[in-house]
Amino acid sequence: MRDITDISDVKKRYRAYLMLEKGMSANTAVAYSDDVDKLVHYLTDAGVGVERATTDDLERFVCTLQDVGIQPRSQARIISGVKSFYKFLRQEGFMDTDPTELLLTPKIGRHLPEVLTIGEIDAMIAAIDMSKPEGQRNRAIVETLYSCGLRVSELITLRLSQLYVEERYIVIQGKGSKQRIVPISSVALEQINLYLEQTRSRQVVQRGSEDILFLNRRGAMLTRQMIFHIIKQLCELAGIRKVISPHTLRHSFATHLLEGGANLRAIQQMLGHESITTTEIYVHIDRSRLRDEILRYHPRNNPSHADPS
């Protein structure tokens, strides 16, 4: 085991390790690094070297997170970053053992995301003002989000060269620069083609955005905020009271596939989830909806069908 003489250099190397070896995006690597900064500050104040920290030291650090009111979900994320950091330190020869092996992660209640019905999605699409220049673009955006279950970041960076019309699929550059092939519906393809013919072909495209599919009025790539605004506005116009975001269309895509009988592994691949555990939340959504239907319609739960005896 060797001592850490320059923690700043170690943290820089750790961030490079996350991006180059673990395939994390720059944003995720920064988040993990920020979590490590919290630990380093705590240990420095306690007079403990990072490479000398014990499980007890780390447990006291977690207790401090609880004391300052950090929620369990955020605690779990920070602990995940700390565990990753100590795994890196051990690989680099700074640690003989890993003090995080026995470090417990707080239990997090499973939060089931909001899901739109097919009728609500149709109502959103019907609310689009097709007389406006951006109308056809917005319809193509909603159809693509729902048809392919894309993340917002994947939608705004989707390129014309990633669209295979004849084969009816798109190639997505997902998290960690991992590519996946996603089938696209004929409805979404039709709306994209109309957008290309009626709107995009008439635009002056800014340099660097020539291959970007969905453009703003100035001929540049859309922002995440703009997609959020479009979806929120359409929901208001459609009279939908649920609190939703563009990600809701991704949840709806997965849930509707599962309800239709799709294999969970296939849904995992289409969503680009690294772990099947992430995808399994849609099983819980499906079961909760089934439970609601049973409680609503089963004769034993309906007073109008009560036993007359």
Residue count of the chain, please give it. Answer: 309
Which positions are annotated as active-site residues? 151, 175, 247, 250, 273, 282
- The angle that helices 135-148 and 118-126 make with each other, rounded to 10 degrees, is 160
What is d(CA 97, CA 304) in angstroms, rounded to the nearest whole number? 66
| Alpha helical stretches, state H, the chain | 7-20, 26-45, 55-67, 72-91, 118-126, 135-148, 152-156, 186-198, 224-237, 246-259, 264-271, 276-279, 281-297
Residue 182 forms beta bridges with which residues? 170
What is d(CA 51, CA 224) in angstroms, rounded to the nearest whole number? 40
Answer whether 139's CB lies under 8 Å from 128's CB: yes
Q: Which single residue is written with the structure tokens 């998290």?
A: 175
Q: Which single residue is written with the structure tokens 């602990």?
A: 79
Question: Phi-psi region for residue 23, left (φ > 0), alpha (ψ -120 to 50) or beta?
Answer: left
Question: Which amino acid is residue 183, in one-letter code?
Answer: P
| Tokens of residue 180, six digits | 């996946």
| Tokens of residue 22, six digits | 């673990």
